Structure 1
């Protein structure tokens, strides 16, 4: 090990080269810690994401199945979405949960599970995860025009197994499932030492 101090890059310039308001891209000119200049460092400031691992009174996890166009596949994941304009992270989490699943809850019932950065090299996007116990289907889905979502519930231990065996493979969902299983092993049928 060394005592080397890692220093941030110095921003010399920024240009918005976004092809669409739906997919922002920035071009930065930066000076590295070693003095080198990179004049074409591209990344996307997509915005933050919220996700909720909702568990029913019957110890079932609420999942959503939907088509994801970038991969051209139908994927199984936890409900969530982008932080909504003029809404806090918690408000966005509650709204996304209700919109995608028909589960309405209050802020005091959400348990924060931390944050996840999927690709901090090329994305400025943080996913904030929450757990909700005793989730109830007490509202209606309010889907966006691009959403076609099937809601399903599975026993928590089965969801963990699907994450382990690759049936659930979306990064945010995997991380939140695993973090929650470690924090609440009894919910997932685990016996940790």
Structure 2
């Protein structure tokens, strides 16, 4: 293996900030080629689930909500942080789906994992496909969330991704992974 592809050596590490949402860590590193990189900031976030929920009528369940970082209302897939009480991403996806949308499914499976930003972020997005979803309860979003639910057909969801209406990169990637896994999009190379 070429020396340039080896992991960096961490000489020291300290947390600059910690709260329930994020931890910021400053690492003092040396590359495999001996270059000092100090500090290198690492953002420690919890893992997240993204749920591609498809109804029996082939409609994708989307949510619209205000995102303060962007300062805008965005359209996105349901999802959220995997809580410590969630035994796995499937349980977290089922919980987030019903909390944000009121929809449930008994057919959920993980179809992919995405890095939130491998250069500086520690967390992963677990993409969960939920088939045959149906409304069962009123949504119960977190107190800080105001969410509208929107149903669109699969083709329109793809067009929304292409047009930038789904603005978060992980939502577009999860949409394509999920639709492909559901047999509703052929990504095979010819």
Q: Do both share a fold (TM > 0.5)?
A: yes
Once residues 81 and 179 of structure 2 are traced to their aligned partners in structure 1, the CA distance between those partners, rounded to angstroms, is: 24
Once residues 10 and 74 of structure 1 are traced to their aligned partners in structure 2, the CA distance between those partners, rounded to angstroms, is: 41
2:31 is matched with which residue? Answer: 32
Q: Which structure 1 segments of 5+ residues have no match?
A: none
1:47 shift after superposition: 1.2
1:20 shift after superposition: 4.0
1:19 shift after superposition: 6.0
2:21 is matched with which residue? Answer: 22
Q: Does residue 42 of structure 1 match 2:37?
A: no
Where do 4+ consecutive residues of structure 1 move more than 6 Å?
none
Once residues 164 and 128 of structure 1 are traced to their aligned partners in structure 2, the CA distance between those partners, rounded to angstroms, is: 22
Structure 2 length-normalised TM: 0.91
Classify the secondary structure of the residue corresponding to 1:86. coil
1:125 is matched with which residue? Answer: 123
Once residues 181 and 104 of structure 1 are traced to their aligned partners in structure 2, the CA distance between those partners, rounded to angstroms, is: 18
Q: Which has the higher strand share?
A: 2
1:1-193 → structure 2 map (5 Å cutoff): 4-5=2-3, 6-18=5-17, 20-87=19-86, 88-106=88-106, 109-185=107-183, 187=184
Q: Which structure 2 segments of 5+ residues have no match?
A: none
How many residue pairs end up in the alignment?
A: 187
Classify the secondary structure of the residue corresponding to 1:34. coil
Q: Give yes or no for contact 2:105–2:131 (8 Å, CA) kept in 1.
A: no
Once residues 82 and 181 of structure 2 are traced to their aligned partners in structure 1, the CA distance between those partners, rounded to angstroms, is: 25
Once residues 175 and 182 of structure 2 are traced to their aligned partners in structure 1, the CA distance between those partners, rounded to angstroms, is: 10
1:65 shift after superposition: 0.3
Once residues 36 and 157 of structure 1 are traced to their aligned partners in structure 2, the CA distance between those partners, rounded to angstroms, is: 48
Q: Give yes or no for contact 1:118–1:171 (8 Å, CA) kept in 2.
A: no
What RMSD in Å do the two structures reach over aligned CA positions?
A: 1.8
